[in-house]
Amino acid sequence: MLKETDPEVYNLIRAEETRQQRQLSLIPSENFFSPAVREAVGSVFAHKYSEGNVGQRYYEGNQYIDELEELVFKRARRAFNLPDDWAVNVQALSGSNANLAVYLALMEPGDVMMGMYLPDGGHLSHGWSYEPKAQVDPNELVYLGGSRKVHITSRLFKTVQYKTSPKTQLLDYDEVAGIAEKYQPKLLITGGTAYPRLIDHERMKEIADRVGAYYLADIAHEAGLVIAGVAPSPVGIADVVTLTTHKTMRAGRGSMILAARDMMSKINRGVLPGLQGGPHNHNIAGICVGLGEALAPEYREYQRQIVINAKFLAGQLMDRGFKLVSGGTDKHLMLIDLTDQLLSGKQFAKALDKAGIVTNFNTMPQETRSPADPSALRIGTPWVTTRGMKEESMIRIAEWMREVMAIAGGWVDKSEADYLRLAASSGEIGRIAREVEALGSEYPLAIKSARYAPSRIQGNSSLY
């Protein structure tokens, strides 16, 4: 149908499909969804407005939307092992929206919120501002922001950010406690986009309780790992948990909020009318299918393999002379410190892309370069593990990355335009791209052919 009615869009979709098949995505926030999830996302649920909550809609005709959300709640309760007095919101359109809804429910403008320093791996929605051209002391463990209010959180609230230790690049919980004692936040937040280690949720809750703060655990990256029990769960420890559904969780695009029922009544109002109108019911359908997949034994095997692959890849990279932030990883992602290499994060990412390996340049602890061309490269293993790859493939990926660094390092003094031209025309880079594509052809992008796909949900609903 689309090919005939809109060939331009059809061709773009086919081109992107080919790119995803030929290249290897190592971006830890990306994943590939099952045909069943994609079918649900493309369903007629996209046509329906359903402002309000189950049984309390502002539009008629929502009986099946209500059933869908109730099914999400049921599956989320099982997947995350929710306490009996906890509830779920699946309507926030993104992780940032989910966090903002929590802020609206629990805070007033001008209150203090405390989260991880963005260059150390924190997230924009945890409060970010900075002072243009100002040098930040890398040894100072607290950051109070600046005049450039990049995210709305820094416009509404007083934001305080804790850093990782300059010595270990790990969180120093005693230092976090001291910062909380000094600044008395209303809300303490954990979770990061580039922190490769696990969070001690019990310690963070203890710190929050000591200063009378709420504790928000943002597990956007770790949600799938938490479901499988390969990362610690903050459920029942934190006051509220937020997450996105499309990273390790592999359940389509969207977000979820988990909290005690009395708190959830406030958070629901933070979502609607606080931030948005009608939820995207087709995405909720995809999340529901993804949660059903997450209840299968194969899903736990998949999540365990993500971590095995990440730790093995980390070791292979270090064996080849790469330095990793904090010395390795506990989960699905790692951060390569390039300060002792020939290329910056941006240069390395651009050359790797030409070689068929998709990554993203990233800031790192004690960062001295601009976020537009930082000192580190962020990589992860969710997508390649979805394709069925195991340790032997991680060896090849690490070797390709070493080769690209050696090849592209010879162009480090070139202008950006010349550097990109050389990367695109290099015969050696092209050879690696062909080898990457050949590996990808052994692991086609179809979850039904991977090792970690359930064939049925709850014994009565065929996925494939």
Tens digit of pLDDT for each residue in 107-159? 999 999 999 999 999 999 999 999 998 888 888 999 999 999 999 999 999 99
pLDDT in tens, 201-225: 999 999 999 999 999 999 999 999 9
In the structure, what pLDDT confidence band is assigned to residue 462 with cuts at 50, 70 and 90?
A: very low
**Residue 461: pLDDT over 50:** no
Alpha carbons 136 and 148: distance in angstroms, whole number: 14
Q: What is the three-class DSSP state of 38?
A: helix
Q: Apex CA 250: angle with CA 244 and CA 251, to 5°?
A: 70
Alpha carbons 313 and 290: distance in angstroms, whole number: 27
pLDDT score, position 455: 57
**Residue 397: pLDDT over 90:** yes
pLDDT score, position 335: 98
pLDDT score, position 457: 60
**Residue 302: pLDDT over 90:** yes
Q: What is the three-class DSSP state of 255?
A: strand
pLDDT score, position 449: 42
Q: What is the three-class DSSP state of 96?
A: helix
pLDDT in tens, 193-204: 999 999 999 999
Residues 6+ apart with CB under 8 A from 320: 398, 399, 401, 402
Ranges of CATH 3.40.640.10 domains, the chain: 44-294
Ranges of CATH 3.90.1150.10 domains, the chain: 300-449
pLDDT score, position 266: 96
pLDDT score, position 9: 98
**Residue 57: pLDDT over 80:** yes
pLDDT score, position 192: 84
Q: What is the three-class DSSP state of 164?
A: strand
Mean pLDDT of all residues belonging to the chain: 95
Cα separations in angstroms, 324 against 141, 382, 442 = 21, 18, 29
Alpha carbons 362 and 349: distance in angstroms, whole number: 10
CATH class label, 44-294 = alpha beta
- Both tokens of 429, joined, read 């880079």
The mean-pLDDT minimum among 71-85, 108-122, 435-449 falls in: 435-449
**Residue 460: pLDDT over 50:** no
- Both tokens of 122, joined, read 């924190």
Query: 37 and 251 in contact (C-beta within 8 Å)?
Result: yes
Task: Using the structure block, give the residue that is written with the tokens 């892309």.
Answer: 353
Torsion angle, alpha carbons of 46, 52, 56, 59, to 10: -50
Helix 391-408 vs helix 345-354: crossing angle, to nearest 10: 110
Residues 6+ apart with CB under 8 A from 305: 385, 390, 451, 452
In the structure, what pLDDT confidence band is assigned to residue 447 with cuts at 50, 70 and 90?
A: low
pLDDT above 70 covers what percent of the chain?
96
Task: Using the structure block, give the residue that is written with the tokens 């992107």.
Answer: 16
**Residue 459: pLDDT over 50:** no
Mean pLDDT of 50-70: 97
DSSP code, position 129: -
Alpha carbons 80 and 217: distance in angstroms, whole number: 14
Positions annotated as catalytic residues are 49, 51, 218, 244, 247, 253
Q: 300-449 in CATH: which number? A: 3.90.1150.10
- pTM, full prediction: 0.94
* Contacts of 324-327 spanning 24+ positions with Cβ under 8 A: 324/196, 325/169, 325/194, 325/196, 325/364, 325/365, 325/376, 326/164, 326/168, 326/169, 326/170, 326/196, 326/197, 327/169
DSSP code, position 143: E
**Residue 68: pLDDT over 80:** yes
pLDDT in tens, 167-198: 999 999 999 999 999 999 999 999 989 999 99
**Residue 376: pLDDT over 50:** yes
Residues 6+ apart with CB under 8 A from 121: 164, 192, 193, 194, 195, 335, 365
Mean pLDDT of 457-462: 43
